[in-house]
Amino acid sequence: MTVKIERIYAKAQENNVVRVLVDRVWPRGISKAEANLDYWLKEIGPTSQLRKWFHHDPERFAAFKNQYLKELQTLDEQRAAFAELQEIVGQNEHVVLLYAAKDTEHNHAILLQNWINHPPQTLKNKNQS
């Protein structure tokens, strides 16, 4: 199983991957046909309030990470979306998490990729030990 991340604006690198958009807001300038998605898990994205506060400021990334994890642990729709992502990853060999942020080092997709590969105890699903 491999989980990669890519900007949705980048040309798709592989053909036999499951493409999952993990942004709450549809990316500007991308049509549904261009996106070529298998899933759009908009509920997994950070809340609008957290996203606006973070504003992709690298100095706020550590605090953003902590707050986003808290959201995934406590907000039912986000927790359910993360569980769905875990199922998608468990059922497919290659998954790409797509995001629109310009900053490729400080975004929620990086965190999701890490938490899928190494889930915090509070995000483990029933099938994980």
**What is the distance between the alpha carbons of residues 14 and 70, in angstroms, rounded to a whole number?**
33
Report yes or no on whether pTM surpasses 0.75. Answer: yes
**What is the distance between the alpha carbons of residues 48 and 61, in angstroms, rounded to a whole number?**
16
Task: Identify whether 65 is part of a domain.
Answer: yes
Task: Identify whether 112 is part of a domain.
Answer: yes
Task: Identify whether 126 is part of a domain.
Answer: no
Tens digit of each residue's pLDDT (9 = 90 or more) over 84-103:
999 999 999 999 999 999 99
Task: Identify whether 128 is part of a domain.
Answer: no
Q: What's the domain range around 7?
A: 2-120
**Amino acid in the structure at residue 30:** I
Number of domains the chain contains: 1
Tens digit of each residue's pLDDT (9 = 90 or more) over 21-46:
999 999 999 999 999 999 999 999 99
Task: Identify whether 127 is part of a domain.
Answer: no
Across the range 59-78, mean pLDDT stands at: 96
